[in-house]
Amino acid sequence: MDNARACSSSGGAGTGYGNGMEMAPPRIGRALVVIVDDRAAHAEHQDTIGPLVTELLDEGGFVVDAVVTVPGEAVAIRNALNTAVIGGVDLVVTVGGTGVSPRDVTSDATAGVLDRPIPGIAEAIRASGLAAGAVDAGLSRGLVGVSGSTLVVNLASSRAAIRDGMATLTPLVPHVIEELSGLDEG
């Protein structure tokens, strides 16, 4: 992945469960976070969104393999998505580049990677975000769909849009992953 910066996450099972009495929550699957941000990709500022998404995914039962930061360029975004799909992650969450400005190309890049869109989830994320006051979530052109056996989700980049989007998404993801795992049967 040219022009991409990656950092590992420590979102392993059992984080925060050290007293020996509590069991770690079951892990749903593996996830990758793709931050689309020109300035963070070129090390002009520190990414503060990746840790938030990682925390929310960990709370939702995912092991986050990595947070990858790419510039707002369609080729870089597609490369990150394709690498995640080939790597076999269950979920890819992209953050940023979903608006209406000329540099917002995440949705366009994602459309070229998806085998099957899931518009209902994307619409639910937009509607709940707008209802919660996250204007960028309501204006988002973000897509949700399946590429291979990986669920791909685009979120707007404000903290409110991320928190609300993840709250909407988290209860739906296990059902999608379960259905995807059944595609290989019979």
What is the residue extent of each domain of the chain? Answer: 28-181
Per-residue pLDDT at 41: 79
Query: At the top level of CATH, which class does the domain 28-181 belong to?
Result: alpha beta
Confidence of residue 6 (pLDDT cuts 50, 70, 90): very low
Q: Read off the pLDDT band of 184 (50, 70, 90).
A: very low
| Predicted pLDDT of residue 166 | 97
Predicted TM-score (pTM) of the model is 0.85
- Angle among Cα 113, 107, 125 to the nearest 5 degrees reads 110
Lowest mean pLDDT among 11-15, 19-23, 56-60, 144-148: 11-15
**pLDDT tens for residues 79-91?**
999 999 999 999 9
Q: What is the mean pLDDT of the chain?
A: 87
Torsion sign across C-alpha atoms 156, 161, 83, 6: positive
Q: Would you state the pLDDT for residue 40?
A: 83
pLDDT in tens, 16-69: 444 455 555 567 899 999 999 988 877 877 888 999 999 999 999 999 999 999
Average pLDDT over residues 137-161: 97
